[in-house]
Structure 1
Amino acid sequence: MNIKSLLLGSAAALLAVSGARAADAIVVAEPEPMEYVRICDVYGAGFYYIPGTETCLKIGGLVRYQINWADNDDGWRKEALMRLKIDARSETEYGTFRRYIEFQASANARGWVEEDGVDYWTGASDESGTALRHAYFELGGLLVGHTDTLFDGDLSGEFDTGGGERVNQIRYTFDAGNGIAVSLGLEEESNDYDYVPLIVGKVSIAQGWGSVDLFAGYDNAYEEFALKGIAKIKATEALTIELLAAYESGPTYWGFGNPIVGISSPYDGYEWSAGGYLMYQVNEKLAIGAGGQYFADAHSNGLLDGIADVGGNNDWVVGAVVDYKIVENLDAKLALNYNDGDTYDEYNDGDGVFSGFLRLDASF
């Protein structure tokens, strides 16, 4: 009985003390809900969920510094360049919904130039405005917006050209499975010029031994067509062989480019072209490559008509490339090219031109 009385008394005392302290208690506010950034690994590394959505976002880009040289220049030509890439993706009942944007800006140093034996100072750095390189969306196999022409494709060297520029377009790609895809594109050749778009088709085959891409395009401006094929074959684990063949019935938007005074633009091309490239992966960091391309029977009624008579000219180029990964996300590229042929004989005192560059790309 004494023990029971003691327990009841202790409980009463504790309640009294608690009641006395309750008046002085500090009220702590409920924490507001917070959603931390979540990693999205569905589309690869670097993607995060946008808070409050199921959309995955990746922001990347690169900083480039490049030193250019040619033996018909009077000095080095240096360029600093930046690219900003924004990639957003989500899943829908129609497949992956992707939105992609890429901006670029560059700065070329300006300085002394010589004219009639007199040196002139041209001013400060020549900084370009921001250029929109890519702006498009994809839903399933449908792509709408501004990006490289579907006809775009060349060898992996720095000497070659396969024709094609960035253009506004609508295209659809059908994935047939087993590494086979078929694409059809309608592309805007020029603003307010013609109601008939450029029509481009592409068949891609990718297998364990390599890949083959076949291109075809029709250009209503000159009522001409272009064909191209590119094969990349893995001869060994380290050696890759690349082959290119192209044909134009006449000047088209996908011209292979004319080497006169560095001009390379649509409609300045050749009837046919063939080239090859060998790339050897020495180790994880070092790769070397070399190749060449031949351009036959230049068109005489392209954009250069009236500037220079290049009709029927045959030209060629060879080049070598060394790629080296310095550290993760920092790559160096050294390229050396030699251009020669009829065009250089006529417009460069009969001499071919050596050129090249050293490029540093720091990506993120």
Structure 2
Amino acid sequence: MNIRMMLLGSAAALIAAPAFAADAIVAAEPEPVEYVRVCDAYGTGYFYIPGTETCLKIEGYIRFQVNVGENVGGDNDSDWDAVTRGQVQFTAKSDTEYGPLTGVIVLQANADNATNQDTILDSAYLDVAGFRAGLFYSWWDDGLSGETDDIGSVVTLHNSIRYQYETGSFYAGISVDELEDGVYQGDFDPALDALVANDGPNNVGVAFGIGGTAGAFSYQITGGWDFDNEDGAIRAMGTAELGPGTLGLAVVYSSGPNSYYSTAEWAVAAEYAIKATDKLKITPGVQYYGNYIGGADPFDTVPDSFDGTGDAWKAGLTVDYQIVDNFYAKASVQYLDPEDGDDSTTGYFRLQRSF
């Protein structure tokens, strides 16, 4: 082997050596991406939370409303006031051996103006096998479809425990409600010329609800007993398709002012929701109150009976118009004439977009 061949062999070895010494570069495989999957087991709008078998639905609405009436502006002593609301609801569902497990959270923000705002927990509860526990609206929050009827509680949102049995066309249930922010009865103090509470705030109540549908007819019977005030109330209402609209009737009786009903000793209400077109609904309504003491605010002290109070009547008109899908306008005007007080006219105009 001559010198020339040795030099060429050495050079080739030096060139090839790095290729054998270096580790091979292998590109990392991309992580698999889990796309959001539609969950159709519980209706439209649900999707699986990635990595779980829990289905989630997000919905809500944005509302702009102008209220009109005497002193509706609060401290501004104005006869009109604009308010805006935003509400978001999260509903989570998953299958269990006891049936669907449901959790609901509703957050609501209200703005009277840029500096006067509040955000509240509007509802938060869990539900499984007919049992519900948490902060939620009672059956006393239900009413007829218009705005004229005044047949519900002062406060219908409670920390409660409830069991409700349901079939396709019937339900029946019972609940135990915390009534800390209800109304409570007091005695009249002549020296102060005012009612003075003879007990603390309400503590507990028991309510029941029975309702369902039968063809074009729907019905509900609701009752409640306020243990702190030692009085209760019962209400029956129903709707039926009649002609071009839906007729609604309701009657309520209260043994004494309590957190379930404190506006009057008894009342009857009626409305007729006319479906004028596919987008327009017109609802006139009337209500008559026996022994009317007026609506109370939460924590208000009320008389211990309805004795000595006069009657009242109310009439109103509500108009709903669907501008496009999930966007509608509503206007309502109400006239109230109590026997022992001044008459009043109130109303509002509302725009609301749901999603």
Matched residues in 2 for 1:61 and 1:216: separation?
30
Partner of 2:101 in structure 1?
A: 97
- Of the three residues 129, 145, 165, the one matched with 1:174 is 165
Question: Does structure 1 residue 333 correspond to structure 2 residue 330?
Answer: yes
- Offset at residue 178 of structure 1 (A): 5.1
Question: Does structure 1 residue 62 correspond to structure 2 residue 51?
Answer: no
Matched residues in 2 for 1:270 and 1:205: separation?
27
| CA offsets 1:336-361 (integer angstroms, 9 cap, x no match) | 111112143xxx3xxx2222111001
Equivalent positions of 1:151-300 (< 5 A) are 151-164=140-153, 165-175=156-166, 177=167, 179-190=169-180, 197-236=204-243, 238-255=244-261, 268-298=262-292
Percent pairwise identity: 34
Matched residues in 1 for 2:118 and 2:308: separation?
36
Matched residues in 1 for 2:107 and 2:254: separation?
32
| CA offsets 1:81-105 (integer angstroms, 9 cap, x no match) | 1111111111111111111111111
Segments of 5+ residues of structure 1 without an aligned counterpart are: 1-19, 110-124, 256-267
Q: What letter matches 1:186 in structure 2? A: V
Q: What letter matches 2:334 in structure 1? A: N
Query: With CA pairs under 8 Å and 6+ residues apart, which has the higher RCO, 1 or 2?
Result: 2
- Of the three residues 126, 143, 149, the one matched with 2:132 is 143
Q: CA RMSD in A?
A: 2.7
- Offset at residue 76 of structure 1 (A): 2.2
Question: Does structure 1 residue 107 correspond to structure 2 residue 111?
Answer: yes
Partner of 1:319 in structure 2?
A: 316
When normalised by structure 1's length, the TM-score is 0.77
Matched residues in 1 for 2:60 and 2:323: separation?
18
Q: What letter matches 2:352 in structure 1? A: D
| CA offsets 1:180-235 (integer angstroms, 9 cap, x no match) | 111000001128x6997311111112122221101111111121121100101112
| 1:187 match: secondary structure | strand
User: Is the 8 Å Cα contact of residues 150 and 185 (structure 1) preserved in structure 2?
Assistant: no
Matched residues in 1 for 2:271 and 2:115: separation?
35
Matched residues in 2 for 1:275 and 1:127: separation?
35
Partner of 1:10 in structure 2?
A: none
Equivalent positions of 1:66-85 (< 5 A) are 66-70=65-69, 74-85=78-89
- Offset at residue 150 of structure 1 (A): 3.0
The runs of 4+ residues in structure 1 deviating greater than 6 Å are: 23-26, 193-196
| 1:151 match: secondary structure | helix
Matched residues in 1 for 2:170 and 2:86: separation?
35
- Offset at residue 59 of structure 1 (A): 1.2
User: Is the 8 Å Cα contact of residues 72 and 353 (structure 1) preserved in structure 2?
Assistant: no
| 2:139 match: secondary structure | coil
User: Is the 8 Å Cα contact of residues 298 and 311 (structure 1) preserved in structure 2?
Assistant: no
User: Is the 8 Å Cα contact of residues 299 and 310 (structure 1) preserved in structure 2?
Assistant: no
| 2:140 match: secondary structure | coil
- Of the three residues 340, 349, 353, the one matched with 2:344 is 353
Matched residues in 2 for 1:42 and 1:252: separation?
42
User: Is the 8 Å Cα contact of residues 109 and 119 (structure 2) preserved in structure 1?
Assistant: yes
Q: Are the structure 2 counterparts of residues 83 and 182 from structure 1 closer, same or farther at C-alpha, using a change threshold of 3 Å?
A: same
User: Is the 8 Å Cα contact of residues 189 and 198 (structure 1) preserved in structure 2?
Assistant: yes
| 2:135 match: secondary structure | strand
| 2:36 match: secondary structure | coil
| 1:37 match: secondary structure | coil
